């Protein structure tokens, strides 16, 4: 009998696929962290090569040969941390992780550059997605709007200022970027300063330093030079709960005052305190947020106490910012590192946030004056944190308008404030008159001669806040609101300062069209025996059910 061709070849075809095939485990890139070095970073290349060789020998004990280890290692960390990046499979990674000299083994993942998270916190985006109601999108990301930044230490070459993808510069734009002075600094020495550390006691240990007058990063350098493996920087009481991200030169943790007290208590309770510092991670959604930094510029104004300062608060702590390559990230002489971005803190970080928001508002509302933009930002600000509790200061005590002004900026709300407190050129000239300048001096600020009125009061400047620095009995001030939204009826609600009676007349303002203006009077009276001798605070709120136009009230009875 003759077999057909298909019947001959089919079994062989099946047999081919049933045969076992060789398999190889998938290799991945890992980082093996071995802790700190026994030497200081300021060693010779020979020392660094010796460390790299120990990494080859260590990995060879798992891979079977020195050649395989050398081929697998991508990078050897021989200066500030002890470890290496290499490719191997999950089984090898698990074996290495069990070794007693290994602190951790983790995947070496690629990282994508992001901007600072403050814009997410302000509600302009969420997890990288920009919502349709974001002022970014509505204002076309500030297209064709220029922000004038008055500061020092700008690095124009930074990628953050690149004009890639932008059109040609319009001929109507004028001015140049000028940078003549680097932002300076000064410090004194106190604790963990030069010459105060004994290397015999510090070497190989994690050093706890109390935050004092000398620079935080300088303390880290002194700890490193003395041989410390790491540093815990504990706040003093005056710094409270303010935590800053600094570019330290050794592994370091910054802790608040409360945690610092606990650590010092622990150190004093045992002869051999133990500690370790883990790999850094980003923690989101912390409570409370926001709260005011201890370094934040505070009121009252020493120049014009009748005007509340600050106006507003905005993100300004540990902000990812473009940085000059003319100096190291710590701004210290010893720091030879160079970076394009850095974590910075200060009012110089808050200012760009508010400037950017002002630029968005100007794009969305091109006819608005600077005073209207300021009013929109101030009257829509929030005074509660993410727990729906009052914003606190660094000591976790309720912050006053002298700390946070009208509150924390809310850019999306500022797009539609409903009403604004506007100011004209004459209003500013009258303000200068009220400060005591004569007509000749005032005319320097005006194209035409200006005659000062004799009935000008600083308290009547049409500002989005009301501040009475010396209230002996009673005072009546005037404010004017301009409608920049839809028609509506607004009613006044007052949160009275302690010991102060506040009367608003009229209590209702009805607006029928855009740009319509309505004035009202506010009378403030000292309640007998109830007024504090210090400043007290309240709020005036005009609401139509949709908008809430909020103004701080600041009073000091005399």
Q: What is the pLDDT of residue 314?
A: 95
Domain assignment of residue 385, yes or no: yes
- Cα–Cα dist 264/282, whole Å: 26
For residue 542, count other CB atoms closer than 10 A to its CB.
24
Q: How far apart are CA 343 and CA 349, in angstroms?
A: 10
Tell me: pLDDT of 219 over 80.
yes
The pLDDT of residue 208 is above 60: yes
Q: Between vectors from CA 344 to CA 339 and to CA 349, what angle results, nearest 5°?
A: 125
> What is the extent of the structural domain holding 429?
424-458
Q: Which of the two residues, 158 and 447, has the higher pLDDT score? A: 447
User: How confident is the model over 433-485, as pLDDT tens digits?
Assistant: 999 888 889 988 888 888 888 778 899 999 999 999 999 999 999 999 999 99
Q: Which residues contact 281 (CB under 8 A, 6 or more apart)?
A: none
Residues 394 and 290 placed together within one structural domain of the fold: yes
Q: Is the confidence at residue 87, as pLDDT, over 70?
A: yes
Judge residue 498's burial from the number of C-beta atoms within 10 Å of its C-beta, 0-12 exposed, 13-18 middle, 19 or more buried.
middle
The token duo for 171 is 């001929």
Kindly state the DSSP code that residue 170 receives in the 8-state scheme: P
**Range in 9-23, 204-218, 542-556 the model is least confident about:** 9-23
pLDDT, position 545: 96
What's the rounded Cα separation, in Å, for the pair 441 and 450?
Answer: 10
Same domain, 469 and 526: yes
Q: Does 288 map to a domain?
A: yes
Three-state secondary structure call for residue 99: coil
Residue (of 191, 255, 249, 252) closest to 225 by Cα position: 249
Beta strands in 247-314 (DSSP E): 252-255
pLDDT at position 178 is 56
- The pLDDT of residue 377 is above 60: yes
Which residues, in sequence order, are bridge partners of residue 482?
420, 517
Looking at the structure, tell me whether residues 288 and 412 fall in a common domain: yes
H or E element at residue 55? helix 45-63
- Looking up tokens 């990995």 gives 59
CA neighbor of 383 nearest in space, from 399, 397, 371: 399
pLDDT at residue 71 is higher than 70: yes
- Tell whether 296 is covered by a domain: yes
Number of domains within the chain? 5
Q: What is the DSSP string of 505-542?
A: ESSEEEE-STT-EEEEEEEEEEPTTT--SSEEEEEEEE
Q: Buried (b) or exposed (e) across 179-190, using 16+ Cβ within 10 A? A: eeeeeeeeeebe
The reply to whether 4 falls in a domain is no
- Of 229, 254, 281, which closes a domain? 281
Residue 127 predicted with pLDDT over 80: no
- Say yes or no: 221 and 290 in one domain: no
133 with 195, same domain?
no
Q: Taking 60 as the threshold, does the pLDDT of residue 505 lie above it?
A: yes
Q: For residues 112 and 278, give the distance between their C-alpha atoms in angstroms, rounded to a whole number.
A: 22
Residue tagged 């997605």 (tokens) = 129
The string of pLDDT tens digits covering residues 308-357 is 999 999 999 988 888 888 888 888 888 888 988 888 888 888 988 999 99
Domain boundary among 214, 246, 281: 281
- 315 plus 369 within the same structural domain: yes
Residues 6+ apart with CB under 8 A from 25: 89, 90, 91
* 434 and 516 housed in the same domain: no
Same domain, 405 and 354: yes
465 cis-preceded (ω within 30 degrees of 0): no
Of the chain, the percentage scoring pLDDT greater than 90 comes to 50
Concatenated DSSP letters for 420-450?
E----HHHHHHHHHHTT--HHHHHTTSSS--
Tokens of 373: 């933009």
Beta bridge partners of 369: none
In a domain, 547, yes or no: yes
| Separation CA 502–CA 549 (nearest Å) | 17
Q: Does any domain span residue 541?
A: yes
Same-domain status, 466 and 550: yes
Average pLDDT, the chain: 84
Same domain? 347 vs 439: no
Asked if the structure places residue 544 within a domain, the reply is: yes
The structure's pTM equals 0.71
Q: With a cut of 50, say whether residue 9 has pLDDT above it.
A: no
Instruction: Specify whether 233 is located in the same domain as 307.
Output: no
Q: For the domain that residue 224 is a member of, what is the CATH number?
A: 3.50.30.30
CB of 84 within 8 A of CB of 73? yes
Residue 166 lies in a domain: no
Q: In this structure, what CATH number is given to the domain that contains residue 495?
A: 2.60.40.2310
Range of lowest pLDDT (103-107, 160-164, 239-243): 160-164
Q: Are residues 347 and 386 in the same domain?
A: yes
């Amino acid at each position: 009998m003759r077999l057909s061709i298909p019947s001959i070849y089919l079994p062989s075809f099946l047999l081919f696929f049933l045969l076992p095939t060789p398999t190889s485990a998938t290799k991945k890139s890992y980082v093996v962290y071995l802790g700190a070095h026994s030497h200081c970073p300021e060693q010779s290349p020979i020392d660094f090569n010796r460390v790299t060789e120990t990494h080859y020998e260590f990995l060879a004990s798992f891979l079977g040969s020195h050649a395989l280890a050398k081929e697998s290692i991508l990078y050897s960390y021989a200066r500030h941390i002890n470890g290496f990046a290499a490719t191997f499979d999950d089984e090898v990674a698990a074996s290495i992780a069990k070794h007693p000299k290994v602190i951790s083994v983790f995947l070496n993942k690629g990282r994508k550059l992001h901007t600072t998270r403050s814009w997410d916190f302000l509600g302009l985006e969420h997890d990288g997605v920009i919502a349709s109601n974001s002022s970014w999108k509505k204002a076309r990301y500030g297209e064709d709007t220029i922000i004038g930044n008055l500061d020092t230490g700008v690095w124009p070459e930074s990628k953050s200022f690149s004009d890639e993808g932008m059109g040609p510069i319009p001929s109507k734009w004028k001015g140049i970027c000028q940078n003549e002075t680097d932002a300076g600094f000064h410090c004194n020495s106190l604790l963990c300063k030069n010459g105060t550390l004994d290397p015999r006691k510090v070497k190989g240990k994690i050093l706890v330093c109390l935050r004092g007058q000398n620079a935080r990063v300088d303390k880290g350098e002194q700890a490193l030079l003395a041989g410390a493996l790491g540093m815990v920087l504990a706040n003093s009481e005056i710094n409270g709960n303010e935590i800053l991200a600094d570019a330290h030169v050794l592994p370091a943790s910054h802790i608040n005052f409360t945690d610092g007290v606990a650590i010092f208590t622990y150190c004093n309770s045992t002869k051999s305190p133990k500690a370790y510092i883990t790999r850094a991670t980003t923690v989101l959604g912390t409570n409370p947020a926001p709260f005011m930094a201890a370094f934040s510029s505070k009121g009252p104004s020493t120049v014009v106490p009748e005007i509340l300062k600050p106006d507003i608060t905005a993100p300004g702590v540990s902000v990812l910012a473009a940085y000059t390559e003319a100096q190291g990230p710590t701004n210290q002489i010893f720091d030879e590192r160079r970076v394009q971005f850095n974590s910075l803190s200060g009012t110089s970080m808050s200012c760009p946030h508010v400037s950017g928001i002002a630029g968005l508002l100007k794009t969305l509302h091109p006819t608005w004056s600077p005073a209207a933009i300021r009013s929109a930002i101030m009257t829509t600000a929030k005074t509660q944190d993410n727990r729906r509790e009052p914003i606190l200061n660094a000591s976790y005590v309720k912050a006053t308008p002298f700390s946070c002004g009208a509150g924390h900026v809310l850019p999306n709300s500022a797009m539609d404030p409903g009403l604004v407190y506007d100011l004209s050129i004459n209003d500013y000239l009258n303000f200068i008159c009220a400060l005591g300048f004569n007509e000749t001096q005032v005319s320097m600020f005006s194209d035409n001669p200006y005659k000062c009125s004799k009935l000008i009061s600083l308290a009547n400047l049409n500002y989005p806040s009301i501040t009475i620095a010396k209230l002996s009995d009673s005072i009546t001030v005037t404010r004017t609101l301009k409608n920049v939204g839809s028609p509506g009826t607004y009613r006044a609600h007052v949160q009275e300062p302690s010991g102060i009676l506040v009367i608003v007349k009229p209590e209702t303002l009805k607006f029928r069209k855009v740009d319509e203006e309505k004035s009202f009077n506010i009378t403030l009276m000292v309640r007998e025996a109830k007024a504090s001798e210090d400043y007290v605070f309240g709020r005036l709120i005009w609401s139509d059910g949709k908008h809430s136009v909020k103004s701080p009230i600041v009073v000091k009875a005399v």
